[in-house]
Amino acid sequence: MRQGAAKIFGKFMPRLDTSPQTRQRPPIMQRALPYFLSLPALMVCIGILVPFFIAVSYSLMRYRLNLPHLKGFNWFANYLDFATDAAFWHTLWVSLVYAVLSVGFELLLGLGIALLLQKPTRMNNFVSIILLLPLMTAPALAALMWKLMTNPNFGILSYLVSLLGFTDFKWASDPSSALFTVLLVDIWVYTPFIMILLLAGLRALPKQPFEASALDNVPASFVFFRITLPMLMPYIITATLFRLLDSIQQFDIIYAMTQGGPGNSLVVFQVQAYLEFFQYTNVGRSAALMVILWAITYGLSHLFIKQWLRLRERASGLA
């Protein structure tokens, strides 16, 4: 009986063809949507890679703007010249010293301020917002402002220092104090960046270890070095990486205040590359300096990211 009814109704019911050939395809806009969404990332990638490879090709050339007829490939001659160039090693040394000192002081100050503002109260939140104001100032503008304040004739900082007995402090106009002056500007501008990252990290830490240590009357120094710092280390590495890569490529603060001087006391990579291109019109040498700077930043990034991944694995119990 059931089989007969199935045969009768089967004649009137349409058959559904489930073969892949007749399956409805999605609209063309739906299929193209992933490509449209990835288009901005592709444009950014092209915008980064094209200038990079152009700079690499220029670094392998003998290319001076005032002698265009001599343009041609000399391959690695620009890099080999740096090996025996005392000015290059001085630039490398100044760049590394500047990066280490600026990031070191900013890290210590930023961590100290973050610890003071760790408790999320209205007053602490207001102070943290006020401390972010230097970060909103353009570095070149901040450098010009500090240049006026440190002017030996009418600067307010020169006047305050004279009250302490330093009547003829030269600030950025003396090679012995130029690095100190530029570091002051860098620390003033970028310490809030490290402070806000570490403050976010401190407030995101789990509260259970600190509550347990408070119940057991654990000393504050032990809590800081054994609990807070190890859990905060990924944030410290992230902040240090960002600032180290930025400070080793510093240009605007140094050039706005000293133009790399007095003499060559503050000639870092970016300043030296700028002078090679615009003052000496040596495009090949300038591009080679920038490629070397890229190699240094790439190596530092690799080391810091590798350490950050190791700490994350250890924190998740995989190491």
Give the predicted TM-score (pTM) of the model: 0.83
Residue 72 counted as domain residue: no
Residue 243 counted as domain residue: yes
Rounded Cα gap, residues 29 and 36, in angstroms: 9
* Backbone angle region of 281, left / alpha / beta, with phi > 0 → left and psi within -120 to 50 → alpha: left
The pLDDT tens digits of the residues spanning 154-181 come to: 888 888 888 888 777 888 888 888 999 9
Q: Which of 95-109, 133-147, 197-211 has the highest mean pLDDT?
A: 95-109
Residue 77 counted as domain residue: no
Residue 244 counted as domain residue: yes
Q: Say which residue the tokens 């259970």 belong to.
A: 208
pLDDT of 16 reads 46
Higher per-residue confidence, 67 vs 89 = 89
Residue 49 counted as domain residue: no
Residue 117 counted as domain residue: yes
Residue 67 counted as domain residue: no
Residue 211 counted as domain residue: yes
**The three-state (H, E, C) secondary structure of 105-148, written as one string:** HHHHHHHHHHHHCCCCCHHHHHHHHHHCHHHHCCHHHHHHHHHH
Overall domain count for the chain: 1
Average pLDDT over residues 12-18: 49
pLDDT of 317 reads 55
The pLDDT tens digits of the residues spanning 267-277 come to: 999 999 999 98
Report the Cα–Cα distance between both ends of the chain, in Å, rounded: 69
Contact 187, 112 (CB under 8 A): no
Rounded Cα gap, residues 264 and 93, in angstroms: 12
Structure tokens at 271: 């300043």
The pLDDT tens digits of the residues spanning 283-296 come to: 999 999 999 999 99
| CATH number where 141 lies | 1.10.3720.10
pLDDT of 25 reads 63
Domain extent at residue 301: 88-315
Q: What are the b/e assignments for 230-261, b being 16+ CB within 10 Å?
A: ebbbbbbbbbbbbbbbbbbbbbebbbbbbebb
Is the per-residue pLDDT at 96 higher than 90? yes
Rounded Cα gap, residues 229 and 214, in angstroms: 17
Rounded Cα gap, residues 246 and 259, in angstroms: 18
* Selection from 190, 177, 194 nearest residue 143 by Cα: 190
